[in-house]
Amino acid sequence: MASRSRIAIIGVGNMGEAVLSGLVKAGRAPADIVAGVRRSERGEELASRYGVGTATADEAAASADILVLGVKPYDVVALLASLELRPGQLVVSLAAGITTRAMEAAVPDGVAVVRTMPNTPSLIGEGMTVVAAGASASEEDLEDAVALVRAIGEVAVVPESHVDAAAAISGSGPAYVFYVAEALVEAGVHLGLPRATSTQLVNQTLAGSSLLLRETGEHPAVLREQVTSPGGTTAAALRVLESAAVRAAFLDATRANRERSQELGSA
């Protein structure tokens, strides 16, 4: 259904705004986007920042072909049930944990549901979004959802059984990277660097390393080895990270993340 052009984003907080910003930056006409918000001041802020229309959730849903849900997981099903949806509309959820089955049970027949898991670099068009079609979604529905999120970065279509695992890697991934950034800035300060200098070093090192990883296509272990001179300074540091079981901590952390998604989905 390539005729779907009107997009409503209902619930425009951190993630909803990242998607909104990414769509506008990618050239989607602001006139085709409406932000469904609860507070009029938030609507005014979004209208002046992006030039999009704003409305209540009900009005936004009525005016759109594609409804992007940016509300918290525990609000998704109740919100869907409260809206007057019509056949032919496509629901694209951003919510962690909430299954397409649960959403499909809350919408009328003929409304397709696609579940996605984006991340906040979507704000600048560098997002990573996984997409899974519900039983109600046709190939065209999936294509419409993919085209939507393609505007805000890379896309991977996955079976729904993989979405919670993907969320633990790419959905939350930026938080792990920023956590490392925070820790390194602080470490530089502990070594006596001025905070501004330490911040500059960390920001560019993370950006440069990410680009090197993406542009060379090399395995991260190869790139790490290139930095690790035998008997050198990096080896001394990596030995400490291995003793602290940082690698094992990532296994535990991502497992806890996936379990939390499953809890949100069964609440």
Ligand X SMILES: NC(=O)C1=CN([C@@H]2O[C@H](COP(=O)(O)OP(=O)(O)OC[C@H]3O[C@@H](n4cnc5c(N)ncnc54)[C@H](O)[C@@H]3O)[C@@H](O)[C@H]2O)C=CC1
Ligand Y SMILES: O=C(O)[C@@H]1CCC=N1
**Which parts are annotated binding residues for NADP(+)?**
10-15
Residue 110 makes CB contacts below 8 A (sequence gap 6+) with 86, 87, 88
Amino acid 96 reads A
Q: Is 161 helix (H, G, I), strand (E, B) or coil?
A: helix
Q: Is 131 helix (H, G, I), strand (E, B) or coil?
A: strand
Residue 157 or residue 238: which is nearer to ligand X going by CB? Answer: 157
Which among 5-13, 125-133, 167-175, 183-191 is the span making contact with ligand Y, rule CB under 6 A? 167-175
Position of tokens 């502990």?
190
Residue 68 binding ligand Y, by CB under 6 A? no
Q: How far is the CB of 69 from ligand X (least distance, A)?
A: 7
Residue 9 or residue 55: which is nearer to ligand Y going by CB? Answer: 9
Q: Is 108 helix (H, G, I), strand (E, B) or coil?
A: coil
Q: Which residues are annotated binding-site positions?
A: 10-15
Which among 34-42, 100-108, 166-174, 202-210 is the span making contact with ligand Y, rule CB under 6 A? 166-174
Residue 52 binding ligand X, by CB under 6 A? no
Residue 198 or residue 257: which is nearer to ligand X going by CB? Answer: 257
* CA atoms within 13 Å, Cβ hemisphere of 202: 20
Give the total of residues touching ligand Y (CB under 6 A): 4
Among 20, 79, 106, 149, binds ligand X (CB under 6 A): 79
Enumerate residues 146-205 that contact ligand X by CB under 6 A: 171
Question: What Cα–Cα distance (Å) separates residue 51 from each residue in 41, 91, 133, 256?
Answer: 14, 23, 31, 39
Among 89, 116, 129, 172, binds ligand Y (CB under 6 A): 172
Residue 118 binding ligand X, by CB under 6 A? yes
Question: What Cα–Cα distance (Å) separates residue 178 from each residue in 33, 59, 157, 181?
Answer: 30, 37, 26, 5
Q: What share of the chain is helix, strand, coil (3-state, %, to 5)?
A: 60, 15, 25
List residues near ligand X by CB under 6 A.
10-16, 36-38, 57, 70-73, 75, 79, 94-96, 117-120, 171
List residues near ligand Y by CB under 6 A.
96, 167, 171-172
